[in-house]
Amino acid sequence: MTPHSLAFYVHTVTTGTVLGARPTDSADRVAAVLGTDFAEDATGRRTMFRDYGLAEFHFHRDRAGGPWTGHHFSLQVHRLALGPVGLPGPVLRERYGRFAPRLRFEKLRGLLHRRGVPLVEIPEYAANTPHYRTFWQPASQTAVTFVAVRGEYSTPAALRPGDVYGITSPVTADEVAMRSARA
């Protein structure tokens, strides 16, 4: 793992942003930050996402033809173990350099801990148990999910226990409470 790409992950978890792009930003604002090299997919007339390789930003709108507003973003870290070297996207590669194919959860957690940024384990969705575990950073409302137990059909073959699967923001206190109530 390069020090620069680790800095990217630490900054994202600490701030809940991708290069300053917030999960609630408009599609135009995200494109201004991450560029126009993305794949776009709309599911119906009111939801859309833009895939920048490593980062995906999801948008919603109240009505067809209305303005898109940001809903959340996710870093599809698991793709690095499968994808080409250019997967993070040109803007992230230019800023942070090479990204290793795996991000170890304990490495990320240790770096965050040394900076005084706590991660708190939250209950996992029943469908993901016992294969995944999720930790939450309350101030940034960012969640980090990693492979806890390998599962032949439940986890990507290229990932090992301890590898980060993804990073998502926002994960609100209400969602954490909902997960806790179901646990």
Is 156 in contact with 150 (CB distance < 8 Å)? Answer: no
Burial of 137 (0-12, 13-18, 19+ CB in 10 A): buried
Quote the CA–CA distance of 19 and 6 in Å, as a whole number. Answer: 13
- DSSP symbol at 154: T
Question: How many other CB atoms sit within 10 Å of the CB of residue 125?
Answer: 12
Residue 164 carries which side chain, given as an amino acid letter? V
Q: Which of 57-61, 102-106, 130-134, 178-182 has the lowest mean pLDDT?
A: 178-182
Is residue 80 scored above 50 in pLDDT? yes
Q: What is the pLDDT of residue 85?
A: 63
What average pLDDT does the chain have?
93
Q: What is the pLDDT of residue 69?
A: 93
For the chain, what's the residue count? 183
Residue 113 carries which side chain, given as an amino acid letter? H
Average pLDDT value for residue range 139-159: 95
Question: How many other CB atoms sit within 10 Å of the CB of residue 21?
Answer: 20
- The band of 11, judged by pLDDT with boundaries at 50, 70 and 90, is very high
From the centroid of its chain, how far is CA 93?
A: 17
Which tokens hold the place of 53?
Answer: 């390789």
Q: pTM of the full predicted structure?
A: 0.94
Is residue 2 scored above 60 in pLDDT? no
Q: What is the pLDDT of residue 86?
A: 63
Is residue 132 scored above 50 in pLDDT? yes
Q: Supply the Cα-derived Rg of the chain in whole angstroms.
A: 16
- The band of 130, judged by pLDDT with boundaries at 50, 70 and 90, is very high
